[in-house]
A = this chain, B = another copy of it.
Amino acid sequence: MAENETTAMTIGKQLVALCQEGKGLEAIDTLYDEKIVSIEAQGSDEMPARMEGIQAIRSKSTWWYDNHEIHSSSATGPFCGYREDQFAVCFTMDVTFKPSGERTQMVEVGLYTVSNDKVVQEEFLNEVG
């Protein structure tokens, strides 16, 4: 860890590196707390916006990978500010939702909170058209 580097910076760099390699599930397994809270911008009856616990987040992520064909994706960051427990990542994705065949290009911002060397919350902000 470089001098002045916060835990959020260190974990943020690891998360971005894993996401760039398409290893999102490995990021969950290695960097996330057991009690991780995940909050999407929108939810549905089947998939509520707020989910809690590493098992629920693993299932959500597995579902996502199973149901999307990824044409390209990138993760930029991490971005860090004055809060030492927070980092942000910008994601761009070009994906096809397999059940409908609909192809979408999207950009989103992930906001991450770190505590005791683990990611304890992830929150996704979607681009508003």
List the interface of chain A (C-beta within 8 A of B): 5, 9, 12-13, 39-41, 49-50, 76-83, 86-88, 90, 107-109, 111, 123-128
* Known A88-B109, A90-B90, A109-B109; contact A127-B82, beta-carbon cutoff 8 A: no
Assembly of this chain: how many copies? 2
* Known A13-B128, A128-B13; contact A90-B78, beta-carbon cutoff 8 A: no
Report yes or no: B82 in contact with A128, Cβ–Cβ below 8 A. no
Instruction: Output the nearest chain B residue to A79 by Cβ-Cβ distance.
Output: B125
Report yes or no: A128 in contact with B77, Cβ–Cβ below 8 A. yes
Contacts of A81 in B (CB 8 A): 39-41, 111, 123-126
Q: How far is the CA of A17 from the CA of B107 in the complex (A)?
A: 17
